[in-house]
């Protein structure tokens, strides 16, 4: 099965390495990703746990890498794991941040649009934080 997807992006006037270091640190999620973590993210038994609008979730980022890949899996309270592709791409003195939102099976068009809107707001928050 192929899922519908939307690529949400923003351009940030800050070096890619700085932005990548920030987004790849799970402790920072609550400062920019309100759609995922509305309180501090805690390391519990070797796993990053967050209280989210969906309930308690577990977040697992890919290993740090030199390519700006900040993919992360989010395990929902239901046990379903959602893969979230995310990239920080150098762009001159700044960078582009691209997050792919997939419309999972059973998700309505309205809920998918809400997911895209939440990611758009999160990236706007990230941009404001990084450029401040």
- Domain ranges in the chain? 5-131
Q: Give the confidence band of 37 by pLDDT, cuts at 50, 70, 90.
A: confident
Residue 58: φ, ψ to 5°:
-115, 130
CATH fold label, 5-131: Alpha-D-Glucose-1,6-Bisphosphate; Chain A, domain 4 (3.30.530)
| pLDDT for 70 | 97
Residue owning tokens 């920080």: 88
120 touches 12 (CB < 8 A): no
List the 86-91 sheet strands across, edge first.
Answer: 5-12, 94-102, 86-91
Please write the tens of the pLDDT for every residue from 89-125. Answer: 999 999 999 999 999 999 999 999 999 999 999 999 9
Q: Give the confidence band of 72 by pLDDT, cuts at 50, 70, 90.
A: very high
| pLDDT for 61 | 94
Structure tokens at 75: 């395990």
């Amino acid at each position: 099965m192929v899922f519908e997807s939307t690529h949400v992006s923003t351009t940030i006037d800050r070096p890619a390495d700085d932005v990548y270091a920030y987004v790849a640190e799970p402790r920072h999620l609550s400062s920019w990703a309100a759609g995922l973590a509305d309180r501090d993210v805690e390391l519990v038994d070797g796993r990053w746990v967050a209280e989210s609008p969906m309930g308690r979730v577990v977040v697992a980022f890919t290993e740090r890498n030199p390519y700006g890949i900040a993919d992360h899996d989010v395990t929902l309270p239901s046990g379903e794991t959602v893969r979230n592709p995310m990239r920080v791409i150098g762009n001159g003195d700044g960078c582009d941040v691209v997050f792919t939102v997939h419309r999972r099976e059973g998700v309505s068009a309205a809920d998918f649009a809400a997911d895209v809107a939440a990611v758009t707001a999160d990236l706007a928050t990230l941009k404001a934080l990084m450029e401040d």
